[in-house]
Amino acid sequence: MASTNNVSTMRYNLFPFLRWFRLLNAETVKIDIIAGITAGVLILPQAIALATVAGVPPQYGLYTSIFPVIIASLWGSSYHALSGPNTALAVLTAMTIAPFANIGTPEYIQYAITLTFMVGVLSLALGLLRLGVVFNYFSHTVMVALVTGVGIIIVIQQIGNFLGVQMNNGEDLVEVMQQVVIALERANIYAVIVGSVTVLSGILIKKFRPKWPHYIIAVVLGMLATQLLGKLVGQGNTGIYFLGYMSFDAIPFSMPDFSPEGFSEFASFAYPSAVSMAVLGLMQSAVIARNMAAKSGQQGLDINQEVIGQGMSNIVGSFLSCFTSCGSFNRSAANLESGARTPLVGIVSAFALAALVFTAAPLIAYLPVPVMAGVLFLVGSALVKIKDIRKLLSIPGEGRIVFVLVLLVTLFSGVDDGVYLGVFLSIVLYLRERSRPEVDLMFEDEVSPYLLPGMSADDTVVVRVGGSLFFGSVPYMEKVFGQAGERANKHCNLVVIGERVTDIDEAAAEMLKQEGIRRASEGKRLALVWVRESAMTSNVRNILKDVLTQGERRRRQSDRQQ
């Protein structure tokens, strides 16, 4: 029986999609096919727009919306999270490669594919080492700041295309703003009109008809505005640029550059960015997966498996002409709202998009560049949640300081530096939280049940402690015990109720022992009452032998019941 269970577990670990295959029936398949086709159509304009942000030809955005989605759906863990091109990762891709090659050139594309492979390997390694759970502990404030910064960067960097003016987006934000000021004098009024129609129509449709596909409708109206202007003043007089014809391959094979002269040089430069992209992508994917599971009621979500799926999707994607991808907020939310039930939706959406691309390729070639800039304005502005930011800034404490710091670093130093600062601050905040165990001071009638022989309520302070007592919490606990003594008198007994303590390390045990010695020198006593055996090692138990009073509270409770 045990060997059968082991074989079954191994099979599910290698092929996690077998878990949800069992949920498929006629009704579920029908619902998921409809939701998948809808998701495939909706991603088309955003995929092309994000390819522009990443600096690669539009067809690479479509490839990234097809192949990684299939792999992540099969080897991930979330039933409703959908992967694909991601706004923040697209920005980081451009920022990383721009110093090496001109945007859109074969060299640039090669570096993008290599970078995708690097991100995939790092992500897969984290998943296989079972380190995916660390992404549960990143601060939500940091995530909001990073996403807000990326949204602002996208809007600013697309101003040139919106104005119909060529700009160098590889520069830092201050230089881009300087270019924007210069570009205003050379703005193409026709491009501005077309872009404005796209943006305004998208905003109005989203506000008054939120269930309608506002991106697609905005693109269609923008294209119609372009055609109307062309008829009024002549197509050649508008000066509006189009995406142009794109060649698609059913299986667009590619190869990361592993050559010593190519890969090693680029890898040494791009490794820090690859780490940032892996961390940022997995942070978003973990947040999305948890949110979707909470809303849908999915049981058994495995973040490590989700990380493995994201890593595999990028590794496979690097051999199929894809740039870096991760979980998508917009696609996942729309997927859940459509009533989707299983990851079959992701697979169906990929095939639906592929069919649409091959049938509508000539139409895609006539997409005006200002229209795509307008779509990116919508995408970028959607990432800036004004209500959330206002609420966050209104709450006193370190949260708003962290938000402002990460946002400013993201905007003026780069998304990768923002990620590093965000990770550092998340760790600091987590350790700070961990170093402050739960402490409740007990008063008056609450005290008497916990008094030990020889103690009275007048000369005893009782505190209930919960959480982890470790070396990082020692200064905080010393301060708590000192303040507790001052509330009563400097020479008082101290009873520490440890029923909620999860673990005690040797440093914390030594602190409790020394506190007991100090009180004993004053003729008083420290007692640690009712700590679970599982919270202590044998060494800790030996250190605490003079202050640990195991079972005393149970005896007191028994006396009261009698």
Model confidence pLDDT, tens digit, residues 170-196:
556 777 788 888 888 889 999 999 999
Burial class (CB in 10 A: 0-12, 13-18, 19+), 202: buried
The residue whose two tokens read 């090692």 is 537
- Using 70 as the pLDDT threshold, list the residues of the chain that sit under it: 1-9, 168-172, 262-263, 330, 337, 444-445, 484-490, 550-562
Beta-carbon contacts of residue 349 (< 8 Å; ≥ 6 apart)? 36, 37, 38, 39, 40, 43, 69, 82
Q: Are 326 and 123 in contact (CB under 8 A)?
A: no
Beta-carbon contacts of residue 189 (< 8 Å; ≥ 6 apart)? none
**What is the CB-side half-sphere exposure of residue 12 using CA atoms within 13 A?**
13
The CATH code for residues 438-561 is 3.30.750.24
If phi > 0 it is left, if psi is from -120 to 50 it is alpha, else beta; for residue 434 that is alpha
Burial class (CB in 10 A: 0-12, 13-18, 19+), 110: buried
Tens digits of per-residue pLDDT, 282-296? 988 887 888 788 778
Q: In the chain, where are the structural domains located?
A: 23-430, 438-561
Cα–Cα dist 494/511, whole Å = 14
Beta-carbon contacts of residue 245 (< 8 Å; ≥ 6 apart)? 361, 362, 365
Burial class (CB in 10 A: 0-12, 13-18, 19+), 400: middle
Q: Residue 300's Cα: distance from chain center in Å? A: 19
Q: Is 2 helix (H, G, I), strand (E, B) or coil?
A: helix
Q: What is the pLDDT of residue 562?
A: 41
Beta strand 548-549 with 526-529: parallel, antiparallel or unpaired? parallel
Q: What is the pLDDT of residue 305?
A: 93
Cβ–Cβ contacts within 10 Å for residue 236, how many? Answer: 8
Cα–Cα dist 414/294, whole Å = 32
Q: Are 120 and 342 in contact (CB under 8 A)?
A: no
**Residue-by-residue DSSP string for 438-493:** EEEE--GGGTGGGPPTT--GGGEEEEEEEEEE-GGGHHHHHHHHHHHHHHH-SS-E
Q: What is the pLDDT of residue 122?
A: 95
What six digits make up the tokens of 118?
């690097």
User: Exposed e or buried b for every residue in 419-458, given b needs 16+ CB within 10 A?
Assistant: bbbbbebbeebeeeeebebebeebeeeebeebbbeebebe
**What is the CB-side half-sphere exposure of residue 389 using CA atoms within 13 A?**
14
Q: Are 468 and 437 in contact (CB under 8 A)?
A: yes
Q: What is the pLDDT of residue 557?
A: 44
**DSSP at 368:** B
Q: Does the pTM of the predicted model rise above 0.75?
A: no
Tens digits of per-residue pLDDT, 130-166? 888 787 777 778 878 887 887 888 788 888 889 988 7
Cα–Cα dist 328/361, whole Å = 24
Cα–Cα dist 436/432, whole Å = 7
Count of positions (residues) in the chain: 562
**Residue-by-residue DSSP string for 75-126:** H-S-SS--EEE-HHHHHHHHHHHTTTS-TTSHHHHHHHHHHHHHHHHHHHHH
